[in-house]
Amino acid sequence: MKLGYQTNTWGGVVGHPAGVTSIKDLYYLANGSTEEAVKDIAAAGFAGIELFDGNLMQYKERKNEFKELLKQNSQEFIGVYTGGNFIYPDVLEEELLKIEEVAALASELGAQHLVVGGGAVRAKGILESDYNDLGAALNKVVAIAEKYNLIASYHPHLGTNVQAPDQLDKLMPLTTINLCPDTAHIEAGGGDPVEVIKKYADRIKYIHFKDYENGEFLPLGHGHQKFDEMISLLDELQYDGWITVELDSYPDPKQGAEISRSYLAAFEKANKA
């Protein structure tokens, strides 16, 4: 297993305030220190990081500083997480321009993956046509990713028009994008992560792990997710990509990373035995 960690736990999942009035600046942003996050992730024993687009763009004029941060902590830059509404034609061009700028910088700094979430839920409810529009927009994201030698994957997420299993099944035939299952979001949306991995195995190049119980996202081993079955299935599928732990928030971010890394160590020992 290649094990990574998302830096968003350091500061939590928020957004860039400029996005309220300017779509091109509508980034995800964790308010914590990326430098502290990378050091803590490395100390916990992970080998790579994923970060939000807003945190990545903070290094637009400090690229060498970012490269040195990774080098000093022996970390790989796995990928960047971004997103959009994707169903409103008037703002789609701006969203895609933003995503292209993010992809270009991520590629230049050595990333492998471009992960996108989204698909807005309208105030009056979801239209069936929204899935066609979302699929078409995601195909444009795929083209952007390929332009910069990145692997594009879609991340189902609570609060979007693709959070339930039937919604995911509507979308996937309408787009060529890969799937990045977030195991906890899938369960919270009413799905079974093991079954989703089985169903879309040929379209999974990247995966997010986090645990879940009683409506709360948790470090691995602190909820009831069936990671033993998931890892066994990934082994059977000869999956050789990254598994990134992505825990939105935790009172002590470093401790949260350590808990999840310790939990995964048992599977590494089992594989070596």
Rounded CA separation 79/49 (Å): 7
Contact 120, 162 (CB under 8 A): no
Report the pLDDT value the prediction gives residue 43, as an integer from 0 to 100. Answer: 98
pLDDT, mean of residues 85-107: 97
Q: Indicate the pLDDT class of residue 16, thresholds 50, 70 and 90.
A: confident
Q: What's the whole-number average pLDDT of the chain?
A: 96
Whether residue 133 is predicted with pLDDT greater than 90 in this model: the reply is: yes
| Mean predicted confidence (pLDDT) in 198-219 | 97
pLDDT at position 252: 98
Read off the pLDDT of each residue in 183-200 and give the average, rounded to a whole number: 98
pLDDT at 84: 96
Is residue 4 pLDDT above 90, yes or no? yes
Q: Is the pLDDT of residue 231 over 90?
A: yes
Q: Amino acid identity of 241?
A: G
Domains of the chain: 2-272 (3.20.20.150)
pLDDT at 96: 98
Pick the more confident residue, 20 or 182: 182
Does the pLDDT at position 272 exceed 70?
Answer: no
Place of tokens 């996050």: 37
pLDDT band, residue 268 (cuts 50/70/90): confident
- The whole-number pLDDT of residue 99 equals 98
Mean pLDDT lowest among 13-22, 145-154, 155-164, 212-221: 13-22
Query: Residue 132: is its pLDDT beyond 80?
Result: yes
- Asked if the model's pLDDT at residue 204 lies above 80, the reply is yes
pLDDT in tens, 18-49: 888 888 899 999 999 999 999 999 999 999 99
pLDDT at residue 273, as a whole number: 56
Q: Above pLDDT 90, what percent of the chain?
A: 93
Q: What are phi and psi of 53, to 5 degrees?
A: -60, -40
